[in-house]
Amino acid sequence: MRRVLNVSKCLSLSLCRSLCLQARFGTLSDYFQALKKVLPVSSLPTVRGDFFTYADRDDHYWSGYFTSRPFYKRLDRTLEATLRATEILYSLTLAAMRSHGDGRLATGFPAQDHFLLLTAGRRGLALFQHHDAVTGTARDPVVIDYGNRCYFLLAWGIC
């Protein structure tokens, strides 16, 4: 509710009025109704045909990236965001240390150890994103192994 109020304030700013804009909340149905007013329906693209259903056995079909393995997709995004934030902090720390004094790192700072941990995190994430784990087409034991690797990268504080 708070976000709606904040967005409402932004929509009512004088900037919208000065640019002759009318902004409002809408649904997907509102969007398509407005689109149909502007464009003829025949000009909108339509997808037909096979949507690449995947079957690895007689009656085991998969047809959706967005509907399969949501936990592992969330784990992937969490690991990727954590790893990226860690890489940025690592780079900023090195730059800050080099900018003070003679350009060398502080004595005793384990830069190489941290770099190796970041590399392990990148490799774990790359393995998980590489093939079938995120798309949902891998077999259950494979996905569980990939998921455990990502979980332990986060839990051990590697990234």
- Higher-confidence position of 11 and 112: 112
- Whether 80 and 148 map to the same domain: the answer is yes
Kindly state whether residue 58 falls inside one of the protein's structural domains: no
Asked if 35 and 97 sit in the same domain, the reply is no
- Containing structural domain, residue 34: 2-43
pTM comes to 0.55
Query: Mean pLDDT, to the nearest integer, of 9-29?
Result: 68
pLDDT of residue 70: 78
Q: Are strands 60-62 and 54-57 parallel, antiparallel or unpaired?
A: antiparallel
Q: Are residues 118 and 74 located together in one domain of the fold? A: yes
Please give the radius of gyration of the chain, using alpha carbons only, rounded to the nearest integer: 24
Number of domains making up the chain: 2
Q: Is the residue at 26 inside a domain?
A: yes
